[in-house]
Amino acid sequence: MAEKTASSDQQQLHVFFFPFMSPGHQIPMLDMARLFAKRGIKTTIVTTPCNLSRFQSIIDRDRQCVNVEIDLHILKFPSDTVGLPHNCENLDSLPSRLMSNSFSRAVMMLQPQSDDLVRQHQPDAIISDLNIPWTAQIAEKYSIPRIVFHGTSCFSLCVTDSVSKYKPYEGVSNDWMPFLVPGLPDRIHITMSQMPGRFFRNLGLQEFFMQFVEAERNTYGVVANTFYEIEPKYIEHYKKIIGKKIWAVGPVSLCNEKDMDMAERGNKASIDKDQCLTWLDSKEPNSVIYVCFGGLCAFAESQLVEIGLGLEAANYSFIWVIRDGFGDGLAVEDLEDRVKGRGLIIRGWAPQLLILNHPAVGGFISHCGWNSVLEAVSSGVPMITWPLFGEQFYNATFVAKQLGIGFGIGVYTGLKWGEEEQAGALVKRYRVAAVVSRLMGDRGSVKEMRERASRLRQMARSAMNEDGSSNGNLDLLIEDLSTLKKERLAKGDEVS
């Protein structure tokens, strides 16, 4: 490859990415950064040592491609300063949810290091997670545009905005009484027990959250991991709400086309890729139910017992992912013996994309984090929704009511962070068995769900194709940032 000249370096767009250190935020932003790099944009990912170890191999493979330039800058995460264990650099590695406030303080302390990096490298734009509000101050200081990434659906953002703006819960007599959320394109009902703020009240994060609102005022626009065809009314509605540009560029997970990239996305899988594929290859199409609740799920031991016994009773093939560090008191070995050949239990990190894309998988029990919803949509897999906290109840409503590709397991409130063990088993084994049997039985309305899921799969993939809506939006975003760069350079020339 020919060496670049100083002039070509000046013309090349350079974008800094600041992913938040939590699986559901970090994974899609890294995919997005890789999409930029594959378009010839100089891309810099700012992260910490332990987080880098999770995705280094994927980045190294990308760097072997011609014209792909991805730089990595490492920040020292001040775990010790705020009283966190050494190498605790991601929300999923916290020994207790009650330490979330300490983690947020550590994130805020990364600003000086990041300011130095931006000053030294002079990027043309910053794409930052919502949860890193100080990037707005840095962008303003160096007169570069900041694009914010929320990591959820525009539907959820619109519901959250309307609840905040109109306060429709005032006067509602109890936590479980549904109320209408005004100001939305559709009639959407929620309950107070499902509102995101409820799950974090005991963590002292209100001041941290308030800084997000202030940072958004100093933001050029929003980049979203969604696609126009899945929620056109809510993309347009959210655009009106914020009065800024929004670019829907997803599902970004579809940039992972190779089995190895799917297997290592987010972290190295706890099961060998070939072992997982061999097991799935032995199953009939649509015969396996996949059960996974994301990287931050924290169930009581009693709930894990009920899930395991429910899956056993349903008598369908299943893959069940138990988060690392949980279920240690669960007699998984006994269960594995009883369901040998029919059930595959993965302790730790699962290669979710690889699993969902396999034709043997016919259903997904999910917490309804937005990444999981999009990955199910992109794979054409219908869902059983089991939201746990945050905006997951809103996403579950979107899956069931707007998309029509799933139904709920029957939970009406989530788990407050740090109080999961006290909640016990909210869903009993008979309910787990019943919903699995309903989805996998393929009768009546489930056939229609499968047909809708199949159509959405095609829409998602079309959006990322060369002439697709998301592909075009990414082009428009890059073009917009390039124009802003030219304008800044021109002003600089005038001043000089």
Q: Catalytic site residues? A: 25, 129
Rounded to the nearest 10°, the torsion over CA 40, 14, 251, 91 is 130
Close Cβ partners of 315 (under 8 Å, ≥ 6 residues apart): 342, 437
Please name the helix (run of DSSP H) or strand (run of DSSP E) that holds residue 377, with its range, or none.
helix 370-379
- Tell whether the torsion through CA atoms of 318, 322, 327 and 331 is positive or negative: positive
CA 141/CA 134 separation, integer angstroms: 11
Coil, strand or helix at 478: helix
CA 11/CA 226 separation, integer angstroms: 30
For residue 240, list its beta bridge partners.
Answer: none
Phi, psi of 417 (to 5 degrees): -60, 130
Coil, strand or helix at 185: coil
Cβ–Cβ < 8 Å for 191, 179: yes
Structure tokens at 372: 């999981």
Q: Are strands 383-385 and 406-408 parallel, antiparallel or unpaired?
A: parallel
* Angle between helix 23-38 and helix 469-495 axes, rounded to 10 deg: 70
CA 55/CA 243 separation, integer angstroms: 35
Exposed / middle / buried, residue 220 (Cβ in 10 Å: 0-12, 13-18, 19+): middle
CA 358/CA 340 separation, integer angstroms: 20
To which residue do tokens 């655009």 refer?
239
Structure tokens at 451: 């047909």
Exposed / middle / buried, residue 259 (Cβ in 10 Å: 0-12, 13-18, 19+): middle
